Amino acid sequence: MARIDLDVNGRVHTVDTDPDMPLLYALRNDLGFNNPHFGCGLAQCGACTVHLDGQPVRSCVTPVSAVGNGKVVTLAGLGTPEKPHPIQKAYVEEQVPQCGYCINGWIMTAAAFLNQKKRPSEAEIKDALTGLKCRCGTHMGILRAVKRAAEMMG
């Protein structure tokens, strides 16, 4: 066991835990951030995606000890209805989700991508999102939303 400080959504929290435990469980169980979801525990689907220093990482395979001083942002920290990230706004406008369980992967990955890449092509968008899973088959809506967000971000 070890006491580990985690900077999540702009606030530092301390957890007392096995340092090998994946970040996902610290977020969900110790800190009450429910929104990163357990999908596979194998970094194969994206449901647990959070930002670590602005980059999307799969929290289900990221040991809590590997976070260090990095800044973690979850979907809850990405934006709010009052101050949304464009991809969140676009997701609502395009009515993307069916069950919605996969959205951390798509939104957090797309947000990190769009923050770095202006006016991406459709092929670039698809390449940035490849490997993420959506079982309900909302792929058409996801692509519409990312394109809409890209337009908003100029």
Among 3, 10, 130, 154, binds other proteins (CB under 8 A): 130
Task: Establish if 40 lies at the interface with other proteins (CB under 8 A).
Answer: yes
| Burial of residue 18 (number of CB atoms within 10 Å: 0-12, 13-18, 19+) | middle
- What token pair was written down for 69? 């001083």
Task: Establish if 135 lies at the interface with other proteins (CB under 8 A).
Answer: yes
Binding span for other proteins by CB under 8 A among 39-47, 51-59, 65-73, 112-120 = 39-47
Rounded distance between C-alpha atoms, residue 3 and residue 57, angstroms = 22
Least distance from C-beta 51 to other proteins, angstroms? 13
Strand 11-17 to 2-8 pairing:
antiparallel
Binding span for other proteins by CB under 8 A among 51-59, 72-80, 113-121 = 72-80
Rounded distance between C-alpha atoms, residue 73 and residue 78, angstroms = 7
Task: Establish if 121 lies at the interface with other proteins (CB under 8 A).
Answer: no
Q: Which residues contact 129 (CB under 8 A, 6 or more apart)?
A: 106, 109, 110, 113, 142, 146
Residues found near other proteins in the complex (CB under 8 A): 17-18, 21-22, 25, 28-29, 33-35, 37-42, 44-45, 47, 74-76, 79-81, 84, 88, 91-92, 95-103, 107, 126-127, 129-143
